[in-house]
Amino acid sequence: MAKLNIVLYEPEIPANTGNIGRTCVATGTRLHLIEPLGFRLNEKQIKRAGMDYWKDLDVTTYVNYQEFLEKNPGAKIYMATTKGQNVYTEVSYEEDCYIMFGKESAGIPEEILAHNKDRCVRIPMLSEIRSLNLSNSVAVVLYEALRQNDFSQMQLMGHLTKFDDYIE
């Protein structure tokens, strides 16, 4: 089964990465972390944000961006950035693509973006706002990619546990 991939370039805030990890577990998505990280993976904050799901996370760390590229040759990588020319809903996400997000304080370096201009995507927002929270941005773009792939392997319908008899 193909899986989507979320890539965090040098994430700085453990709670964001923990939240993203939980979202990845809930969606069957792989998480890739490019060092240096602004925290240790065993910190309490990351575990608290990821709750008891962190142990189930498919996560890989890389020493740097070059190692990430070497270990994922031919990967189709979309770059989520406020500098992107394409709205995130205007591209077609393959079921095994990679979606990269930059660190909270600076985003993805422009030298990386310059080599990937056609795959840079942005979330529309008011011009006075610098950016959305990293974990929110990941959720927005990831769920669009999942939607485009028909939410493959995901539970699509919920049900009430105590009141099913009252619903017609």
Known binding residues for S-adenosyl-L-methionine:
102, 123, 131
Give the pair of three-digit tokens for residue 83: 């500098």
Cα dihedral 41, 27, 97, 94 in deg (nearest 10): 180
DSSP per position, 4-32 = -EEEEES---HHHHHHHHHHHHHHT-EEE
Q: Could you tell me which residues are annotated as the binding site?
A: 102, 123, 131
Q: What share of the chain is helix, strand, coil (3-state, %, to 5)?
A: 40, 15, 45
